[in-house]
Structure 1
């Protein structure tokens, strides 16, 4: 019975993997074609490989500057998210018996159900008024908008950590600040990896928030400059897909090196 179940599960996973592999194959094949080859089957291999698509994408998007902007925003958002969200979650998790912190937890979690388009225009006007229509404003907004979900998963994990560890440190003379950074924060590494990867994916690939917030063209991130391939009457698909592959490569490298921590964080959070 178990072998039959495993067989069906393997087959199901193989079929579901096609939902990722087939679009990825289509992107790679299109990025290597010439515009004249797009008229045939989209899944056919290119008869003539055109590597110049990547050079054109590099030049048309000013890829180094856009990638640097995306990297600054992504790294800043990840670092600030891990430092601030974990502290807020720790304060809530260890004080859930108090009414104020229970209400605070509900308030943060309820923000998950507020769609961003409702807040889009007020946030755009406010950031412009405060002079935060740049990379710094993007970093702050990613930290704030990720707070609800991150607190939700951080709090559940922190509550599984025995209080005796903290009590022993307090008896030895450690302050609350020392307890968090010396004991709790190192134990949060699986969750930190999970939150860090999710924040990294969000900040690197996001298009709507930079479109609304960023005003200066020189501060545009990769998704914004890739919008340049969309013309009034047509789209340069071959160069656009080459640009998408170039933008996807750094995240694939990050995930390859961090996947074991991500999977560990997800499974531990689910069990505990």
Structure 2
């Protein structure tokens, strides 16, 4: 029996290594090619660089105006995630605690909207909001992310709010707290596991998103990191070395975010799964 268990563990370890190699290989190729010249990439894209050079990183940093694009991405991501979490939690709390008949229809509409892909509304989206002069602004982009992210977040919060004991809210109301204070100081802290999970999902989605910013942000001043990286790929020529360096620069903030937040991320995902 021991030998059978040992064989299964070895097999599981080998399979895990294979999956790790599959996921690491693209990232490794991006990093290695970011150290190569354009000629070296064309000759041997899968090979090691003949010499380590950071010229591509310097050129990418200057060309894409990295610090400005990074600030735009941070503003859009932080503002969008904060709006989605706070407003969707408040909406879910309202739908659960206020027993109005229309609330069931509101939740049904929100859930149904998740079925519609963004590509189906992309053209009317640009046409309508373009006529309203609501494009070409990172502030409006955060508002659009709120609209597209509210449905899923409200649906996930809805189930968690049902599990919050009403007695806690009633005790706070007896002590003189208002509805907003009850939500902010009693209910919302209990929702921390699902809030953490949603924050992770939304940060990864918004930070890496290209399609919606490409439709909304037109001027160079408001470009996010994915948009700034895309412009290294021209119609007739592409400087892959500089483009790979730009991709690495775009990935670094997410890695730093994970390193600082990995404890909260793992805890939030585990508690969310248990719930």
Distance 1:17 1:189 in 2: 30
Question: Do the aligned residues in 2 keep the contact of 1:34 with 1:48 (CA within 8 Å)?
Answer: no
Match of 2:71 in 1: 68
Matches within 5 A, 1:239-254: 239-254=242-257
Distance 1:72 1:6 in 2: 45
* SS in structure 1 of the partner of residue 92 of structure 2: helix
Match of 1:208 in 2: 211
* SS in structure 2 of the partner of residue 113 of structure 1: coil
Distance 1:20 1:93, change over 3 A: farther
Query: Any idea what the Cα deviations from partners look like across 1:1-46, whole Å, max 9, x if unmatched?
Result: 7945555444433322222211111111111111121134433221
Matches within 5 A, 1:149-188: 149-188=152-191
Two-structure CA RMSD over aligned residues (Å): 2.0
Matches within 5 A, 1:36-115: 36-95=39-98, 98-115=100-117
Residue ranges of structure 1 left out of the alignment (5+ in a row): none
Distance 1:123 1:20 in 2: 35
Match of 1:143 in 2: 146
Distance 1:8 1:157 in 2: 38
TM-score, length of structure 2 as denominator length: 0.91
Distance 2:14 2:165 in 1: 41
Distance 2:228 2:101 in 1: 47
- Number of equivalences: 271
- Within the candidate set 126, 129, 148, 1:127 is matched to 129
Match of 2:259 in 1: 256
Match of 1:265 in 2: 268
* SS in structure 1 of the partner of residue 231 of structure 2: helix
Distance 1:10 1:166 in 2: 48
Distance 1:208 1:130 in 2: 20
TM-score, length of structure 1 as denominator length: 0.92
Match of 2:118 in 1: 116
* SS in structure 2 of the partner of residue 48 of structure 1: coil
